[in-house]
Amino acid sequence: MSPRNQKRAFGVAAGLPAEVCGPLAETCEEAGYDAIFSNDHPGAKGLETLAEFAKVTDSIDLGVGVIALDRQTPEVIAADIDRLGLDPARLWIGVGAGFSKKPLTFMREILPELREHLDGVRVVMAAMGPKMCALAGSSYDGAFFNWMTADFAAGAREQVEAGAAEARHSAPPVFGYVRVAIGEDATARLAKEESFYRDLHKGYRSHFDRLGEPEGTVGVAAADAEAAQEGLAAYSALDVVVVRGLTSAKVEPMTELARAAAPS
């Protein structure tokens, strides 16, 4: 993939205060981001955060990465979209297996239900291992990577493309969270965020074992904006780099990081 065709999005944690959501979304739209994403977790719904972004923007896409389908059914997701008045055409809904015992089977079997309830919504699948990447490429509207180095993402992209080729269609877009911290304590912030995920569940443990990278090195920890942009440029295998900003959930630090990591 040519880097000049690459898009950039900005990502936050669900439950970001409403007084931060508005200025941040406006900043991202003005700075040229293609989309703004929220994750989803038991304490807050990503779609609720997207509703705050939607109040002040009209040109950028809105995405959730990702909703665990062992916690929220496709029917519940569809009901939330309708309740919040979100435009399906603007949405990228990332979905994952969560703590399902057989994630590959689960994600294959739930796809018809997703299509039934999320008609008109682009549905992307969280994928890390080779088989999940192939399934995302063959059957979903995109693949969503998480906690990958640039080199690992390039290899995972090949699996997405292989799945698409086997299904005899072009490969869907590949998204990926890239954690970004800027400043004197950037390395410590990245390491703290990463340590939580390394032992979250079996899927993440296996993934980090495959990566084989030292703790606190997966992502971009930079002294300044120029170094951050250099780090992000390495992720040329992604169609959409989703900058996951590691900073305090306040207007000034969030908007500053968004501007520093914005597409050029």
In angstroms, rounded to a whole number, what is the distance separating the alpha carbons of residues 35 and 124? 14
Mean pLDDT of 131-145: 98
Taking a C-beta distance cutoff of 8 angstroms, is the pair 70, 102 a contact?
no
Top CATH class of 3-260 equals alpha beta
Cα of first residue to Cα of last residue in the chain, in angstroms, is 18
Please determine, for residue 201, whether its predicted confidence score (pLDDT) is greater than 90. no
Domain residue ranges in the chain: 3-260
Per-residue confidence band for 4, with pLDDT thresholds at 50, 70 and 90: very low
Q: Closest Cα to residue 121, out of 67, 171, 159?
A: 67
Length of the chain in residues, anyone? 264
Please determine, for residue 1, whether its predicted confidence score (pLDDT) is greater than 70. no
Please determine, for residue 2, whether its predicted confidence score (pLDDT) is greater than 60. no
What is the pLDDT, as a whole number, of residue 264? Answer: 85
What is the pLDDT, as a whole number, of residue 203? Answer: 85
The model's pTM is 0.96
Q: What is the pLDDT of residues 98-127, one digit of tens each?
A: 999 999 999 999 999 999 999 999 999 999
What is the pLDDT, as a whole number, of residue 231? Answer: 97
99: which 2 tokens? 């703590």
Within 8 A by CB and 6+ apart from 187, the residues are 181, 216, 221
In angstroms, rounded to a whole number, what is the distance separating the alpha carbons of residues 136 and 132? 6
Please determine, for residue 202, whether its predicted confidence score (pLDDT) is greater than 90. no
Please determine, for residue 57, whether its predicted confidence score (pLDDT) is greater than 80. yes
CA angle, 10 then 122 then 170, to 5°: 100
